[in-house]
């Protein structure tokens, strides 16, 4: 890669490229043989194997051609065609602090007018787009909440969805059991309960670090899900809870006829009102999360979180109470997860344990890490790219014209999501927007970063 020789590098010769591509194609053949060429299916009288040689050979051919082209033009050449692109992105990187600020403002302004934008410009699909915007906004909020735990305090939490579930079930159970509890009264309660669970789950795992913490939080997430699934009398088990009330606008319901929102304001009734309202609720909640996070970062506790993330031992020797610091991070992160959970419950009107699987935690964590740990705007961009991009796959009609009518792009959603996770991480390990600078920092640059020290460097 970094050779500066004027002669042709033997690594870069045409033969080497061909050889490498052949190897890749051979490996594809080996890996794909049992999954692309063969397929086991249930047939009368047991399982039967069918063959799909066409698929197998085309996969091998695609890998060979793709690898060869990449070798010739990007990887194994002295003049990669992507060089211009790389230097451009490096330029963007240095101008980023400013750009990030302006991008943030622009995105905020767009988010404020978003429902009206869609109503005016996409009258046919407004409902679908606003619904997608609500979904993305929910993930932004969850991402920001988890960012407190992972990005600021550096505690890897793989069970964040547990708090999301606690919030959703708190609201659902409270509102279906007690008539007088509506969305707005249940919201703070759900947040408190989630924070309470954050502390309960946080206590035992405080002594753990890094990967161990990750795996225990994962276990807790699964425990909560299994309990929700099996505690039939209380949570409804796999059937979940339905009939969760919709939020009201100061007591006005979004219903047709007398006493509804549209009737009160003299508007013509439209189902879109409720979607716009829901959008603004989650927008408000997300903005509150963001503001609270930004404020907390400047308070002593926020500083302590960042110090904890950079170096726990130094933190302890400076007299910071790491237990309390970790617990507050867990509790506050969990609280926002709980808020988002009760919003989820009211939006769906129905919840079941299926919505709170490990995959959900993985998606939220992926958003935080891909966006760049600790970066608020990164979470927004990652949510839009990952969630928006994936949802867009549902609407791609032309693919089925290429691959035939039986082609269903939705079944590839998670496959593409996983691939995107791997590729973005390999391409930019620090996330799309890599600002992880502590708010308060010593002017002198350290010789070696804390993360390198953690890996055994610089002793």
Partner 1 sequence: MEYFVQQLINGLTLGSIYGLIAIGYTMVYGIIGMINFAHGDIFMIGSFIALATFLVLTTVLGFAFLPVVLLIVLIVSMLFTSAWGWTVERLAYRPLRGSFRLAPLITAIGMSIVLQNFVQVTQGARVKPLPPQIQGGITLMEGNTENGAIVVQLSYMQIIIIVTTLVLMTLFTLLISRTSLGRAQRACEQDRKMASLLGVNVDRTISLTFVMGAALASVAGLMFLLLYGVIDFYIGFLAGVKAFTAAVLGGIGSLPGAMLGGLLIGLIEVFWSGYFSVEYKDVAAFSILAIVLIFLPSGLLGKPEVEKV
- How far does CA 252 lie from the centroid of its chain? 34
Among 369, 380, 381, 432, contact with partner 1 (rule: CB under 8 A): 369
CA atoms within 13 A on the CB side of 333: 34
The region that residue 250 occupies, defined by phi over 0 for left and psi between -120 and 50 for alpha, beta otherwise, is: left
Question: Residue 40's beta-bridge partner residues?
Answer: 49
Distances (CA, A) of 276 to 50, 119, 254, 288, 395: 50, 10, 11, 18, 22
Nearest-angstrom CA–CA distance, 247 and 175: 11
Contacts of 301 (CB under 8 A, 6+ apart): 325, 328
Among 14, 212, 265, 403, contact with partner 1 (rule: CB under 8 A): 212
Nearest-angstrom CA–CA distance, 40 and 34: 9
Among 23, 48, 65, 85, contact with partner 1 (rule: CB under 8 A): 48
- Helix, strand or coil for residue 39? strand
Nearest to 278 by CA among 136, 415, 452: 136
Q: In the stretch 395-434, what mask flags binding to partner 1 with x, by CB under 8 A?
A: ----------------xx-xx-xxxxxx--xx--xx----
- 227 sits near partner 1 (criterion: CB under 8 A): yes
- 222 sits near partner 1 (criterion: CB under 8 A): yes
Report the nearest approach of partner 1 to the CB of residue 43 (Å): 10
Closer CB to partner 1, residue 16 or residue 420? 420
Report the nearest approach of partner 1 to the CB of residue 417 (Å): 6
Among 210, 238, 300, 349, contact with partner 1 (rule: CB under 8 A): 210
- 79 sits near partner 1 (criterion: CB under 8 A): no
Distances (CA, A) of 252 to 184, 255, 269, 275, 345: 13, 9, 13, 15, 19
Among 74, 89, 211, 291, contact with partner 1 (rule: CB under 8 A): 211
Report the nearest approach of partner 1 to the CB of residue 236 (Å): 15
Distances (CA, A) of 454 to 195, 220, 317, 448, 450: 30, 26, 17, 11, 6
Closer CB to partner 1, residue 52 or residue 246? 52
Report the nearest approach of partner 1 to the CB of residue 105 (Å): 29
Question: Residue 350's beta-bridge partner residues?
Answer: 242
Report the nearest approach of partner 1 to the CB of residue 27 (Å): 6
- 288 sits near partner 1 (criterion: CB under 8 A): no
- 365 sits near partner 1 (criterion: CB under 8 A): yes
Report the nearest approach of partner 1 to the CB of residue 451 (Å): 4
Among 4, 90, 313, 442, contact with partner 1 (rule: CB under 8 A): 313
Sign of CA dihedral 364, 369, 372, 373: positive
Nearest-angstrom CA–CA distance, 53 and 326: 55
- 336 sits near partner 1 (criterion: CB under 8 A): no
Among 39, 105, 295, 446, contact with partner 1 (rule: CB under 8 A): 39
Nearest-angstrom CA–CA distance, 434 and 152: 13
- 205 sits near partner 1 (criterion: CB under 8 A): yes
- 437 sits near partner 1 (criterion: CB under 8 A): no
- 272 sits near partner 1 (criterion: CB under 8 A): no
Among 18, 96, 99, 216, contact with partner 1 (rule: CB under 8 A): 216
Chain residues in the site for partner 1 (CB under 8 A):
27, 30-31, 33-36, 38-42, 46-49, 150, 156, 204-205, 207-208, 210-212, 214-216, 218-220, 222-223, 226-227, 229-230, 313, 358-359, 362, 365-366, 369-370, 373, 411-412, 414-415, 417-422, 425-426, 429-430, 451, 454-456, 459
């Amino acid at each position: 890669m970094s050779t500066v020789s004027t002669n042709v590098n033997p690594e870069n010769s045409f033969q080497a490229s061909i050889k490498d591509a052949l190897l890749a194609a051979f490996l594809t053949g080996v890996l794909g043989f049992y999954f692309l060429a063969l397929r086991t299916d249930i047939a009368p009288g047991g399982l039967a194997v069918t063959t799909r040689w066409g698929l197998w050979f085309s996969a091998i051919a695609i890998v060979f051609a793709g690898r060869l082209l990449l070798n010739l033009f990007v990887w194994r050449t002295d003049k990669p065609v992507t060089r211009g692109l790389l230097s451009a992105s490096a330029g963007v990187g240095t101008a980023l602090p400013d750009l990030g600020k302006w991008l943030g403002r622009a995105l905020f302004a767009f988010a404020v007018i978003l429902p009206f934008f869609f109503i005016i410009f996409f009258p046919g699909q407004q409902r679908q787009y606003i619904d997608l915007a609500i979904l993305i906004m929910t993930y932004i909020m969850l991402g920001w909440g988890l960012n407190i735990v992972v990005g600021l305090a550096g505690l890897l939490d793989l069970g964040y969805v547990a708090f999301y579930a606690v919030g959703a079930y708190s609201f659902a159970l409270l509102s279906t059991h007690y008539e007088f509890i509506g969305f707005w009264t249940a919201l703070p309660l759900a947040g408190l309960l989630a924070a309470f669970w954050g502390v309960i789950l946080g206590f035992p795992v405080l002594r753990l670090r890094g990967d161990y913490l990750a795996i225990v939080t994962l276990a807790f997430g699964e425990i909560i899900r299994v309990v929700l699934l099996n505690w039939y009398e209380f949570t409804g088990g796999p059937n979940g809870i339905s009939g969760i009330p919709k939020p009201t606008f100061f007591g006005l319901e979004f219903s047709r006829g007398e006493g509804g929102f549209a009737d009160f304001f003299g508007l013509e009734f439209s189902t879109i009102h409720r979607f716009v309202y829901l959008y603004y609720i989650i927008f408000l909640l997300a903005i509150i999360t963001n503001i609270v996070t930004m404020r907390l970062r400047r308070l002593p506790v926020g500083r302590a979180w960042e110090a904890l993330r950079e170096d726990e031992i130094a933190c302890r020797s400076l007299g910071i109470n790491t237990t309390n610091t970790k617990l507050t991070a867990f509790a506050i992160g969990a609280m926002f997860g709980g808020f988002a959970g009760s919003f989820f419950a009211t939006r769906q009107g129905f919840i079941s344990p299926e919505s709170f699987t490990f995959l959900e935690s993985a998606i939220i964590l992926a958003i935080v890490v891909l966006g760049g740990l600790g970066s608020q705007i990164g979470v927004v961009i990652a949510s839009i790219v990952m969630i928006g991009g994936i949802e867009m796959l549902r609407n791609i009609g032309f693919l089925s014209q290429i691959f035939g009518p039986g082609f269903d792009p939705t079944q590839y959603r998670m496959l593409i999501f996983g691939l995107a996770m791997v590729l973005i991480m390999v391409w930019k390990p620090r996330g799309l927007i890599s600002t992880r600078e502590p708010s308060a920092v010593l002017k002198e640059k350290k010789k070696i970063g804390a993360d390198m020290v953690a890996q055994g460097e610089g002793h």
